[in-house]
Structure 1
Amino acid sequence: MPDTDHLVPPAPSRRGPRKGVRAVAAAGIVLALAAGGCYAAGFGPFARGDDGPDPAAMKQARAFLADWAAGRLPSAAGRTTSPGTAQKVLQSFTAGLDIDKPRLTAAGDAREAEDGTLAVPFTAKMPITGLGTWTYESELPLREQEDGDWKVDWRLSLVHPRLSDAEKFRLEREETTPPRVTDRHGTSVADGSYPSVTPLLGRLAGGDGGGPRGTVELVDRATGETVRTEASFGKEPDPATADEPVRTTLDATWQAAAEKALGRADGKNAALVALRVDNGEILALANSPSAGFNRAASGTYAPGSTWKIVTSSALLLKGAVKPDDVVDCPKYLTVGKEFHNVETSEFPGATFRKDFTESCNTAFISLRGKLDEGELGEVARTYFGVGQEWHIGIPTYDGSVPVPKDETEKAASMIGQGRIQANPLIMASVTATAVSGEFHQPSITAGNEDGTRTEPLPDEVVTQLRELMRATVTDGTAHVLADLPGEIGAKTGTAEVSDDQDNNGWMVAHRGNVAVAVVVEEGVTGGGSAGPILHSLLSAVPEDPS
């Protein structure tokens, strides 16, 4: 049965799925700055009769950052005034510092610099394998060329403000004793048998030491002497607790099954979280690839139609719709632009229950007037804890549901698109809250601070959500789970990324006292990519954890 939860305007033909390319680069090569292109004299970046920078310049800046972050280094370099030099420096910078999948975001207002370029500030989050994330601010200089196009005016300092012909960066790792970390039953998870846990060991050990430690040093290119320490990771161990193992909430059986299940992702980037419904304790947290960036807890993804659990909650809470109400599901709906369902499916005269089980985007968007502008975000925060600050025992991204800027964005937010951001940790928690009525801050270690404040969902809403999710398995887009034992409820999701990438596939499910969420980058559909992973996991573990 096709998953109909992807809603976008008709798109041009796509390129094939991009191969996962590891962003490579490092600051160790001495390279002279190349001359930066020509500037169209007399035309500043703001001299266009409006108050903002030339949109073409901003588009080029964002495209450069996107290419660099995705590892498309030849493409990124081609957007600069010195492609050859740029590609070599970008490649040596991230490779030499063991940076995996940089996150680069334009931030703040562009300004006209003294040299006539347009300076676009950006934030760089550089995950250093096995240590942590190095975060810093920099600027992209954009210069208009004689033909009217804009290019990044290449210079070393745009990679990092302190990178220069005289100074470079060097990664120093300190030899440390591996920390002792166990699962909830005392089984060691620090012996390398659980690959997704290995990069987390230093964090799980606490910040109290015992985990990996290292620094990023700014060094003199000529002498090799350290000029300053740019970033530090890890802490010295506390002698009083150095010999005590850290017990996590993980379950070795569930963790092993999760690691194995992600093998069904066919080499695509993917992540999975399974947690207890009754208290939020994390039983399994797995990433593919297992090393590097923790997509499961720190990823920032549009959740696609899995978010319809929250949207449905908002609608049901205020009595705006009931499961048996007729909410038509047409092929197309125009809200500022034309939207359509996957494979342009339609269900004339469908009930809201049918819209949920078949994940009909147009039906959900047609109900947008039932919710106030910021109501979806308020429901997410008040009942599901999304957007509040979580302390689970390792670093996390805790979600964002901004107030829509316009009607088109409000339409997109109804189906988990627009600017809504989540990850498997968040969506597993959303699922647990929906089927229990109570939010519990997730945890992977004991004794974490909990400053969250939420309200319980009414029993009637919980009953309706459970029924809708169960029907999605028996009669809808999550039918891939229908042959498994237990009263499983689920929701599929397909999330638009860009015209250059296939959609991300999502699925969330609950069975017994466990809620699970899976995302597969460029998985195309939730049922087709995340579904087999979830099926593999639930086939390999008991119906309820001990």
Structure 2
Amino acid sequence: MPDTPHLAPPPRRRPRNGVRALTAVAVVLAVAAGGSYAAGLGPFARGDDGPDPAAMRQARAFLADWAAGRLPGAADRTTRPDTARDVLQSFTAGLDIEGPRLAAAEKAEEAEDGTLTVPFTAKMPITGLGTWTYESELPLVREKKDGGWKVDWRLSLVHPRLSDTQKFRLEREETTPPKVTDRHGTSVADGSYPSLTPLLGRLADRTGGGPRGAVRLVDRATGETVRTEASFGERPDPAADDRPVRTTLDATWQAAAEKALAQADGKNAALVALRIDNGEILALANSPASGFNRAASGTYAPGSTWKIVTSSALLLKGAVQPDDVVDCPKYLTVGKRFHNVETSEFPGATFRKDFTESCNTAFISLRGKLDEGELGKVARTYFGVGQEWHIGIPTYDGSVPVPKDETEKAASMIGQGRVQANPLIMASVTATAVSGEFHQPSITAGNEDGTRTEPLPDEVVGRLRELMRATVTDGTAHVLADLPGEIGAKTGTAEVSDDQDNNGWLVAHRGNVAVAVVVEEGVTGGGSAGPVVHSLLSAVPEDPS
């Protein structure tokens, strides 16, 4: 099944222990998750400007390694590898950092002595509390031995106030467990749904019942607080009623989702199931269940599942029809050589065959049919991707930047390059594709909705449903063919880096439900995400109540 694309960020992460009451832990650095820089197509891809492209590459490579948890690799890019590795490791554990993002500035600042400084933004999610955001800078120096660039290691690059005399400490306050129910009034806060435990505080924030804590800057010698860097949570409102927060979740679907992720064979994975008619989330699950909410906040290349959006863009322009011949060769070179899974080929294939077999080279060959930035415009205008969503918990809402060159445009056609999504986004994309109308997803009622979209034409919706159904009956999603109902689906396989296996994706719809699953390092979509979706749909009714 030829779904191999090019570059996806999020790394594997280890499960964490539960939150602690009034924890005080000295820390010195936080690690971010979700970056890839290989081939210059990841989220830290450099621009064309800058004092020295090699220096910018080194700075972005350091941030990408740090972000992805490849701490030895990040440390080796510095002038003091041993010290850097110890500091980077201690901060992650001490501040309970999970899934943060590091974004480098487009340009470096050059000093008279030839040293460079690259500003960057750090967004550090602290498990169960919130995200600590700050600005810092990477100093770079040229090595005398070989002329290469290194990050000039110093504590202040981690955070401007980190020093030999001051460090950070995380403090948590013990709070009353929040009261949260599913759509039918069944409690989901009793520990029976592990994936929801890290989210309960967020869901209860509106009543002031969520967790509270702070990051303090403290004196290393005395332990006294110098200042509070970040505070999380609100004091309960004494006047607030004691009614539980009711969510859109369905306890039956949530339980099935938690169980289904066991099919991921212990790999990091995430699942979202939502109603097609209104975007209400029925299940949201992560493996491991504790810590980072990769289902809604992850930043992944969606791989070939993105071909749903690419097909929409092509169909909207009348640039292709399902029965048109669009050849599927083994390779296609656009600045670099792209290929299909196992270098498969389908000479004389129709576009329908290209979709059902997920042919990368065929889709890339159609890139000239779309204008620069048109794919991103379609994603935003019809699917709401990249607009600001308010679902009731923090989310990452996707990004489809205008390609910088033809190679990046080719990669974006197959959900690679700088295209970023997560299971929440791809479940919503699937729901929009088969209904024609975008609904902002929600996990609680009464959320602000500032999204503005247009409906897909009925003809395009009909074509997409036909293509997704054929992918189940005759294509790469055949793993779902034995299930009842008119299931449609799309598989995806997304490259991460040279030293990591591909991420596996599968999106599907049945009745009034759309589902999306990603399995990190799952190799293929049908082989890794397919069994997860099959397990879920086997355990739940064809339609939710």
TM-score (norm 1): 0.91
Match of 1:266 in 2: 265
Amino acid aligned to 2:183:
R
Match of 1:235 in 2: 234
Whole-Å Cα distance in 1 between the matches of residues 98 and 390 of structure 2?
24
CA 1:376–1:101 in 2, change beyond 3 Å: closer, same or farther?
A: closer
Match of 2:177 in 1: 178
Whole-Å Cα distance in 2 between the matches of residues 251 and 59 of structure 1?
46
SS of the residue 1:206 aligns to: helix
Whole-Å Cα distance in 2 between the matches of residues 108 and 370 of structure 1?
30
**Cα deviation digits, residues 362-398 of structure 1 (max 9, x gap):** 1111111111112211111111111111111111111
Amino acid aligned to 1:475:
D
Match of 1:531 in 2: 530
SS of the residue 2:521 aligns to: coil
Q: Pick one of 117, 125, 132 that aligns with 2:130.
A: 132
Match of 1:403 in 2: 402
Whole-Å Cα distance in 2 between the matches of residues 191 and 265 of structure 1?
25
CA 1:493–1:95 in 2, change beyond 3 Å: closer, same or farther?
A: same
CA contact (8 A) 1:21 1:72 kept: no
Whole-Å Cα distance in 2 between the matches of residues 226 and 82 of structure 1?
29
Amino acid aligned to 1:315:
L
- Relative to structure 2, which stretch is displaced further, 111-120 or 276-285? 111-120
CA 1:112–1:21 in 2, change beyond 3 Å: closer, same or farther?
A: farther
Match of 1:44 in 2: none
SS of the residue 1:171 aligns to: strand
Q: How far is the alpha carbon of 1:301 from its aligned partner?
A: 1.0
CA contact (8 A) 1:23 1:95 kept: no
Whole-Å Cα distance in 1 between the matches of residues 511 and 50 of structure 2?
54
Amino acid aligned to 1:85:
T
Q: Which of the pair has more CA radius of gyration?
A: 1
Whole-Å Cα distance in 1 between the matches of residues 353 and 114 of structure 2?
58
Whole-Å Cα distance in 2 between the matches of residues 276 and 133 of structure 1?
29
Whole-Å Cα distance in 2 between the matches of residues 22 and 200 of structure 1?
15
CA contact (8 A) 1:27 1:168 kept: no
**Cα deviation digits, residues 8-36 of structure 1 (max 9, x gap):** 59xxxxxxx99746899x983799xxxxx
Does 2:165 align with 1:166? yes
Provide the alpha-carbon RMSD of the alignment.
2.2
SS of the residue 2:207 aligns to: coil
SS of the residue 1:196 aligns to: helix
Q: How far is the alpha carbon of 1:307 from its aligned partner?
A: 0.7
Amino acid aligned to 2:308:
I
CA contact (8 A) 1:386 1:400 kept: yes
Residue pairs, 1:204-223, within 5 angstroms:
204-223=203-222
Whole-Å Cα distance in 2 between the matches of residues 226 and 314 of structure 1?
55
Amino acid aligned to 1:125:
K
Match of 1:120 in 2: 118
Match of 2:32 in 1: none
Match of 2:440 in 1: 441
- Relative to structure 2, which stretch is displaced further, 468-477 or 127-136? 127-136
Q: How far is the alpha carbon of 1:62 from its aligned partner?
A: 2.1
CA 1:230–1:457 in 2, change beyond 3 Å: closer, same or farther?
A: same
TM-score (norm 2): 0.91
SS of the residue 2:424 aligns to: helix
Match of 1:46 in 2: none
Match of 1:47 in 2: none
Whole-Å Cα distance in 1 between the matches of residues 312 and 70 of structure 2?
40
SS of the residue 1:256 aligns to: helix
- Relative to structure 2, which stretch is displaced further, 303-312 or 236-245? 236-245
CA 1:321–1:208 in 2, change beyond 3 Å: closer, same or farther?
A: same
Match of 1:43 in 2: none
CA 1:30–1:229 in 2, change beyond 3 Å: closer, same or farther?
A: closer
**Cα deviation digits, residues 108-152 of structure 1 (max 9, x gap):** 421124775311112212121111111111111111111112222
Match of 2:450 in 1: 451
Match of 1:203 in 2: 202
Match of 1:359 in 2: 358
CA 1:487–1:30 in 2, change beyond 3 Å: closer, same or farther?
A: closer
> Any gaps of 5 or more consecutive residues in structure 2?
18-23, 30-47
Match of 1:466 in 2: 465
Whole-Å Cα distance in 2 between the matches of residues 86 and 161 of structure 1?
16
**Cα deviation digits, residues 30-88 of structure 1 (max 9, x gap):** 99xxxxxxxxxxxxxxxxxx973333322222222222223332332222222222222
Residue pairs, 1:17-416, within 5 angstroms:
20=13, 28=26, 52-113=50-111, 116-147=114-145, 148-416=147-415
CA 1:191–1:545 in 2, change beyond 3 Å: closer, same or farther?
A: same
CA 1:27–1:90 in 2, change beyond 3 Å: closer, same or farther?
A: farther
Match of 1:42 in 2: none
Whole-Å Cα distance in 1 between the matches of residues 15 and 437 of structure 2?
40
Whole-Å Cα distance in 1 between the matches of residues 222 and 324 of structure 2?
75
